[in-house]
């Protein structure tokens, strides 16, 4: 059964309607509760004090003297003389008495009800009683602590509204998070190229359109990777078959050349046969290198052995000097490590990887210049920095130098460079858990290759 779809607009409308209904329902409940409290006598109506004053008005107006026991509900009052408005008696505050005097002066002797004050005319006096136009608690103690119940109910109402908004907002955000988590799941799987997972579905219509696009992208990427994998597999099989076919004539050529070198006494023939053997040996090395670089990483088996780091560097330096031969190029080795280290590596493959990188530097270093190999420790990593003094890498080379068969010289025939060395070195370093960084030296502008390998002390 599919997930029911709803648009964002409809979902937000539903969200707003829910909040509106909750507000209305709570308001109705508050009104009903307020009414019931009044019926039960817990709350007094806003005109309750005024009603009591009207009931007591006749007694107050006819009494010989106004006393506190005539004033209902313990309200504050004041008695003023009509002639000069002097205070006769009462318990009203001075500021309120001044306000009452202004009211009486502005209104003359007309008896009237003023907002908050009730004026009762007597023979020679005015009795002014202050009353409250607000709902009150009938209980005196509650009235003292909460003089305005309506305000307390209003605050409670606002707090409940905030609670309702928080509850619905949390529900809305949880729903959106649930939807977005599905997108995160899909994008993480696509990023890792783990494309065999169940198609995801979301309830928001606009989100589903995006999810459909991601699912289409996943399927297209999966198909593309499968085609690419099949092509790579076919290419490796073709190269393996080709290499096998090449080995046979090379073996015949080398065997015949060895026979000629043994049977021919002529010096010129001996030189020719030696050149043929050297050339076939070089071709065999190329074929072997080609086979190794076309293997899958998963099939790349390392023969790990514990060896001395110092001895490894000495071997690399010795082989680099031998590779320079008669060229006027200097090798400079700088080891900044103070401690003696041993590590587990495939020494043969690691030496070939290092030499491929150093040979690349030798090929691009002019006579009279130098190649430096600097070893530094960076946290849990060892960095081997090979810097030449040549022209440096082009932008294209920095991006593609680790790709198989990439070479700056497109003809490939003039230098004998076939674009395999760096690709092979990169594969060896990666198999050991490291990586190669190809860049140019900032100071010299020449080529710089950094080999980074995890440090195991």
Per-residue confidence in pLDDT tens, the chain, 457 aa: 456 778 888 888 888 888 888 888 888 888 888 788 888 878 888 788 888 888 988 898 888 888 888 888 778 899 999 888 898 999 888 888 888 888 787 754 333 344 578 888 888 898 998 887 778 777 777 777 777 777 777 888 888 888 888 888 888 888 888 888 888 888 888 888 788 888 888 888 888 888 888 888 888 888 888 888 888 777 777 777 777 777 778 878 877 777 777 776 677 777 777 778 777 777 777 777 667 666 654 455 678 888 888 888 888 888 888 888 778 888 888 888 877 777 888 888 888 888 888 888 888 888 888 898 998 888 778 889 999 888 888 888 777 777 666 666 443 333 445 556 778 888 888 888 888 888 888 888 888 899 998 876 5
Distance CA 423, CA 430 (A): 11
Query: Could you identify the residue written with the tokens 């002529």?
Result: 266
Strands 330-335, 370-378: pairing kind: parallel
Tell me: do 396 and 269 sit in the same domain.
Answer: no
Q: What is the CATH number of the domain that holds 129?
A: 3.30.450
CATH of the domain at 336: 3.30.565.10
Q: For residue 451, what is the DSSP state?
A: E
Tell me the whole-structure pTM to 2 decimals.
Answer: 0.44
Residue 282 sits in the same domain as residue 336: no
Give the residue from 78, 82, 70, 73 showing the smallest Cα distance to 95. 78
Q: Are residues 284 and 338 in the same domain?
A: no
H-type alpha helices, 40-93 = 48-62
Is the four-CA dihedral 207, 209, 213, 218 of positive or negative sign? positive
Domain edge (last residue) among 233, 262, 294: 294
The verdict on 247 and 338 lying in the same domain is no
| 282 & 310 share domain | no
What's the rounded Cα separation, in Å, for the pair 142 and 18?
36
Q: Are 317 and 394 contained in the same domain?
A: yes
Task: Tell me, yes or no, whether 448 lies in a domain.
Answer: yes
Q: Which residue has tokens 């202004």?
A: 102
3-class DSSP state of 419? coil
Residue 56 CB neighbour total at 10 angstroms: 18
Total domain count, the chain: 3
Distance CA 314, CA 317 (A): 5
Does 329 fall in a domain?
yes
Print the domain residue range for 71: 47-133
Give residues with Cβ within 8 angstroms of 129, minimum separation 6. Answer: 53, 71, 75, 76, 77, 117, 118, 120
Residue 354 lies in a domain: yes
Instruction: Give the integer Cα–Cα distance in Å for 343 and 322.
Output: 25
- Same domain, residue pair 240 and 373: no
* Claim to verify: residue 287 and residue 316 sit in the same structural domain: no
Q: What is the DSSP letter of 6?
A: B
* 13 assigned to some structural domain: no
Q: Is residue 243 part of a domain?
A: yes
For residue 426, being part of any structural domain is answered with yes
> Which residues are 449's β-sheet partners?
386, 438
Give the burial class of 61: count Cβ atoms within 10 A of its Cβ; 0-12 exposed, 13-18 middle, 19 or more buried.
middle
Asked if residue 315 lies in contact with residue 333, where contact means CB atoms within 8 angstroms, the answer is no
DSSP 123-164: SSEEEEEE---S-EESSHHHHHH-S-HHHHHHHHHHHHHHHH
For 82, other C-beta atoms within 10 Å of its C-beta total: 14
Please check whether residues 332 and 268 belong to one and the same domain. no
Domain boundary among 114, 133, 152: 133
User: Which DSSP string do the residues of 196-247 spell out, in sequence order?
Assistant: -SPPP--SBHHHHHHHHHHHHHHHHHHHHHHHHHHHHHHHHHHHHHHHHHHH
> Are 284 and 321 in a shared domain?
no
Q: How far is CA 308 from CA 90, 340, 343, 424, 437, in A?
A: 108, 8, 7, 23, 25
**Same domain? 325 vs 284:** no
Residue 176 lies in a domain: no
Does residue 5 fall inside a structural domain? no
Q: Are residues 284 and 319 in the same domain?
A: no
Q: Which of 82, 114, 133 is the last residue of a domain?
A: 133
């Amino acid at each position: 059964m599919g997930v029911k779809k709803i648009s964002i607009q409809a979902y937000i409308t539903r969200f707003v309607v829910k909040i509106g209904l909750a507000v209305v329902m709570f308001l109705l409940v508050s009104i009903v509760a307020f009414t019931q409290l009044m019926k039960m006598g817990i709350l007094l109506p806003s005109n309750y004090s005024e009603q009591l004053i009207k009931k007591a008005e006749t007694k107050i107006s006819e009494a010989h003297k106004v006393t506190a026991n005539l004033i209902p509900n313990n309200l504050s009052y004041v008695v003023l003389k009509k002639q000069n408005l002097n205070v006769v008696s009462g318990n009203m505050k001075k500021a309120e008495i001044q306000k009452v005097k202004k009211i009486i002066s502005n209104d003359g002797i007309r008896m009237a009800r003023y907002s908050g004050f009730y004026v009762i005319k007597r023979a020679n006096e005015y009795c002014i009683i202050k009353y409250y136009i607000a709902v009150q608690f009938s209980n005196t103690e509650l009235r003292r602590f909460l003089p305005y119940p309506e305000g307390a109910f209003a605050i409670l109402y606002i707090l409940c509204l905030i609670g309702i908004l928080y509850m619905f907002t949390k529900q809305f955000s949880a729903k959106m998070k649930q939807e977005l988590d599905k997108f995160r799941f899909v994008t993480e799987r696509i990023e890792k190229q783990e494309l065999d997972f169940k198609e995801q579905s979301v309830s928001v219509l606009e989100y589903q359109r995006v999810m459909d696009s991601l699912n289409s992208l996943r399927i297209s990427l999966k198909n593309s990777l499968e085609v690419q994998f099949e092509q790579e597999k076919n290419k490796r099989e073709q190269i393996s078959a080709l290499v096998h076919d090449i080995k046979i004539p090379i073996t015949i050529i080398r065997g015949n050349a060895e026979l000629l070198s043994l049977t021919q006494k002529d010096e010129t023939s001996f030189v020719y046969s030696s050149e043929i053997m050297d050339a076939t040996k070089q071709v065999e090395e190329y074929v072997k290198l080609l086979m190794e670089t076309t293997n899958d990483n998963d099939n790349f088996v390392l023969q790990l052995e514990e060896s001395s780091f110092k001895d490894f560097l000495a071997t690399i330096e010795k082989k680099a000097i031998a590779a320079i031969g008669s060229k006027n190029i200097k090798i400079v080795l700088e080891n900044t490590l103070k401690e003696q280290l041993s590590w587990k590596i495939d020494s043969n493959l690691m030496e070939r990887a290092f030499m491929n990188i150093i040979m690349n530097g030798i090929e691009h270093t002019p006579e009279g210049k130098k190649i430096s190999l600097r070893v530094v420790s960076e946290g849990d990593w060892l960095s081997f920095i090979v810097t030449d003094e040549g022209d440096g890498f082009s932008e294209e080379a920095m991006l593609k130098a680790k790709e198989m068969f990439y070479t700056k010289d497109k003809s490939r025939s003039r230098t004998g460079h076939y674009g395999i060395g760096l690709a092979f070195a990169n594969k060896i370093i990666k198999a050991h858990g490291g990586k190669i960084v190809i860049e140019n030296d900032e100071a010299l502008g020449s080529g710089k290759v950094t080999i980074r390998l995890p440090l195991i002390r």
